[in-house]
Amino acid sequence: MDAPFHLPKEALMTMDYVKEVLDGSPRAAARLISWLEDEDERGHACMEQLYAHTGKAYVIGITGSPGAGKSTLTDKLTHALRRKGLTVGIVAVDPSSPFTGGALLGDRVRMSRLSTDPGVFIRSMATRGFLGGLAKATADVVKVLDASGKDVVVIETVGVGQDEVDIIGIADTTCLVLVPGLGDAIQSMKAGIMEIADVFVLNKADHAGADQLWAEVTFRIEQDASIKPGSWVRSVVKTVAVEDQGVVDLIVAIEQHRHWLEQTGKFQEQRRQRTRQETLRMIHNELFRRVRQHLTDSGALDQLVEEILNRQRDPYSIMRELLGNVFNQPVHL
Amino acid sequence: MDAPFHLPKEALMTMDYVKEVLDGSPRAAARLISWLEDEDERGHACMEQLYAHTGKAYVIGITGSPGAGKSTLTDKLTHALRRKGLTVGIVAVDPSSPFTGGALLGDRVRMSRLSTDPGVFIRSMATRGFLGGLAKATADVVKVLDASGKDVVVIETVGVGQDEVDIIGIADTTCLVLVPGLGDAIQSMKAGIMEIADVFVLNKADHAGADQLWAEVTFRIEQDASIKPGSWVRSVVKTVAVEDQGVVDLIVAIEQHRHWLEQTGKFQEQRRQRTRQETLRMIHNELFRRVRQHLTDSGALDQLVEEILNRQRDPYSIMRELLGNVFNQPVHL
């Protein structure tokens, strides 16, 4: 690969890593992901060169409440995909409390079983930056795994808030894992997540209340289908993940959704919409990173906060002065 | 009030509204809040002038699961505060699905009972912008009510995700409403919220399981207190909000926390930390608004997205070119 002359010097320093990621090296992929997480400038320099090689992997999202069995299901799904000869990347995201930092349940268990397979790459993301950088970071990792040649990338995340809706929004097909007996309160919390599900997975289908849940979900699907004719009629799959039951049915449901997306042109439309959001989010994150860095490095922020607290200044006029002419001119690219 | 010459023209157009808000006009406050929600530039112009008059109201946060009885408790708390001669602003936030828009439960019921009292101002916020603008919007509304002379501002929100942690982070004293019988799954979801609670409210204390819940919460408090000596020992209050029981105890607990904050200097420290976050968040939101507006207004984004989708360009180099030297120079304010 020849070094294009218009690339910045960081790009030239990273050519070897780019080549290794494209060749499927898990070590190079892990290094690149660390650069991206640490906001090391070599991260974006690599991504500029890798981007042309992305867009090939099919991205599956697995979401649901804590305790729904997402990790186990992701494991079994991965094993089933491997048996079909497909390589798999897993991004397990846990946007936990900003106070504890948080840890990823089941991660060690999973690592011991899948990590010896060179056709599988697993990355956990548990930390979070200030103000929602996790969706951008997840999108980056998905692209790295995509460029490294994985056929399928699975994003697994807890389904509770807007962060998770943004994260799972990266997926081509989103599976919502429900379990019997978690009660109405939880169901009502998941309103946002319910709406972005393409496939409902009724896990622990051998537990009491599974039939009731099936009836509720089916009713919901029929209702939605009657409101929005021509849209994807969402499917329901019963699984008992711990016993590896129903996982093949889940793959069939995902493949049907993929087929529907491709036949209707929605696949390209959905990726266009996501590229749009992703590009905006990326520019925004980087711009904010720069502002924050300059305000904190210079000590200006500490000074401003004191003046605001004493009511000598106000944050609104500071914002007006600080941002001044940023993007007040038309953009030419 | 004389018009300072350095203010932008929007500020001059809004002087009357500023004066009316300061005089306590609910109509002027409502108008200003609408401007802020609609991102009308008169909103920030007013806030620049109002800011010096904020910081006086005590801010109470009420959070908890759906069905915990937060609305009823907020109502009873408001009535009790009114009996003590205090004026009250209520900001009821429902960060529901970005797809449905969402509605606020119990809002109409409450309006009919409290809206005739000129000492109470209620604002519901149910819609949400892209990328977590709700915490910023809530902070704005709290400031408007503060400037309008309310002694206490109550923020009521569902406690489920990071959005809600950010929203409730505005409060001086945060009350977490728990009820017997909602199960372990819900408790585990609330990990982030559990940690920011200053006062635990055991509502529906006449229901089965209340003693069990009391024991669990008390154990948790003792555990935390032994880990962090010198920190606030969180209190537990039993209430039956529908029967107006325990509400005076809740006010006592909030007053004790306020007294502790003031005695230890934590009050000022906490407000400093929040001002810092708030200022950064405000800049964060405004940057996104500008990026989005300029890229979409010019049609540049549509063009870029097509080029990215075709892998002719990549979002990383676009970002590098677009941002160029923005904020690569030190900031002077």
Which tokens hold the place of B192?
Answer: 């982030």
Output the domain CATH number for residue B167: 3.40.50.300
Mutate which of A305, A320, A323 to test chain B, going by most B C-beta atoms within 10 A? A305
- At residue B175 the predicted structure's pLDDT band, cuts being 50, 70 and 90, is very high
Which tokens hold the place of A13?
Answer: 């320093």
Q: Residues 181..200 of B with a Cβ closer than 8 Å to A: which?
A: 182-183, 185-186, 188-189, 191-192, 195-196
B75 & B194 share domain: yes
- At residue A1 the predicted structure's pLDDT band, cuts being 50, 70 and 90, is very low
Is A17 within 8 Å of A46 (Cβ atoms)?
A: yes
Residue A331 in any domain: the answer is no
Give the gap in angstroms from C-alpha B117 to the nearest C-alpha of chain A.
31
Is A139 within 8 Å of A25 (Cβ atoms)?
A: no
Residue A270 in any domain: the answer is no
Chain Cα centroid distance, residue A32: 17
Show residues of chain A in contact with B311, CB under 8 Å: 51-52, 54-55
What is the DSSP track for A151-189?
Answer: SEEEEEEE-SSHHHHHHHTT-SEEEEEE-TTSHHHHHHH
B283 touches A at CB < 8 Å: yes
Residue range A67-99, pLDDT digits in tens: 788 889 999 999 999 999 999 999 988 765 333
Q: What ipTM was estimated for this complex?
A: 0.83
pLDDT of residue A186: 45
What is the DSSP track for A272-317?
Answer: HHHHHHHHHHHHHHHHHHHHHHHHHHTSHHHHHHHHHHTTSS-HHH
Give the gap in angstroms from C-alpha B129 to the nearest C-alpha of chain A.
11
Show residues of chain A in contact with B290, CB under 8 Å: 323, 326-328
Our count of domains for chain B comes to 2
Give the gap in angstroms from C-alpha A318 to the nearest C-alpha of chain B.
8
A35 & A73 share domain: no
Domain span including residue B147:
54-264
A126 & A250 share domain: yes
A49 & A64 share domain: no
B4 & B93 share domain: no
Give the gap in angstroms from C-alpha B312 to the nearest C-alpha of chain A.
7
A231 & A301 share domain: no
Residue A274 in any domain: the answer is no
User: Once rounded to an integer, what is the mean pLDDT over residues A90-112?
Assistant: 53
Which tokens hold the place of B168?
Answer: 């409730």
A316 & A224 share domain: no
A201 pLDDT higher than 70: yes
A126 & A205 share domain: yes
A287 touches B at CB < 8 Å: yes
User: Once rounded to an integer, what is the mean pLDDT over residues B200-218?
Assistant: 90
B100 pLDDT higher than 50: no
Comparing CA positions, the residue from B144, B145, B131 lying closest to residue B95 is B131
- At residue B186 the predicted structure's pLDDT band, cuts being 50, 70 and 90, is very low
CA dihedral B62, B66, B70, B72 (to 10 degrees): 170
A162 & A236 share domain: yes
Q: Which of B211, B233, B264 is the last residue of a domain?
A: B264
Residue range B57-80, pLDDT digits in tens: 999 999 887 778 888 999 999 999
Q: Which of B204, B230, B264 is the last residue of a domain?
A: B264
B37 & B102 share domain: no
B113 & B228 share domain: yes
- CB count in 10 Å sphere of residue A258: 16
pLDDT of residue A229: 83
Q: Residues 13..42 of B with a Cβ closer than 8 Å to A: which?
A: none
pLDDT of residue A298: 81
Comparing CA positions, the residue from B118, B129, B123, B49 lying closest to residue B82 is B118
Locate the chain A residue with the closest alpha carbon to B282.
A319
Higher-pLDDT residue of B100, A324 = A324
Residue B326 in any domain: the answer is no
∠ CA B159-B102-A202, rounded to 5°: 70
Q: Which of B29, B52, B75 is the last residue of a domain?
A: B52
Distance between CA atoms of A159 and B167, rounded to whole angstroms?
A: 19
Distance between CA atoms of A94 and A75, rounded to whole angstroms?
A: 16
Show residues of chain A in contact with B224, CB under 8 Å: none
pLDDT of residue A12: 62
Q: Residues 219..258 of B with a Cβ closer than 8 Å to A: which?
A: none
Residue B155 in any domain: the answer is yes
Residue A248 in any domain: the answer is yes
Mutate which of B270, B284, B294, B328 to test chain A, going by most A C-beta atoms within 10 A? B284
Nearest by CB to A331, which of B48, B158, B295?
A: B295
A315 touches B at CB < 8 Å: yes
Residue B323 in any domain: the answer is no
Distance between CA atoms of B297 and B302, rounded to whole angstroms?
A: 10
Environment class of residue A112 by beta-carbon count within 10 Å: exposed (0-12), middle (13-18) or buried (19+)? exposed
pLDDT of residue B12: 62
- At residue B105 the predicted structure's pLDDT band, cuts being 50, 70 and 90, is very low
Q: What's the half-sphere exposure (Cβ side, CA atoms, 13 Å) at B63?
A: 32
What is the DSSP track for B224-283?
Answer: HHHHSTTS---EEEE-BGGGTBSHHHHHHHHHHHHHHHHHHTHHHHHHHHHHHHHHHHHH
B197 & B256 share domain: yes
CB pairs under 8 A between A and B: 254
Q: What is the strand order of the sheet B152-158 is part of?
A: B120-125, B88-93, B152-158, B58-64, B173-178, B199-202, B235-238
B179 touches A at CB < 8 Å: no
B1 touches A at CB < 8 Å: no
- At residue B2 the predicted structure's pLDDT band, cuts being 50, 70 and 90, is very low
pLDDT of residue A5: 52
Phi-psi category of A82—alpha, beta or left, where left has phi over 0 and alpha has psi -120 to 50? alpha
Residue A268 in any domain: the answer is no
- Answer whether A314 sits within 8 Å of B131, measured CB to CB: no
Q: B18 Cβ partners below 8 Å, 6+ apart?
A: B1, B46, B49, B50
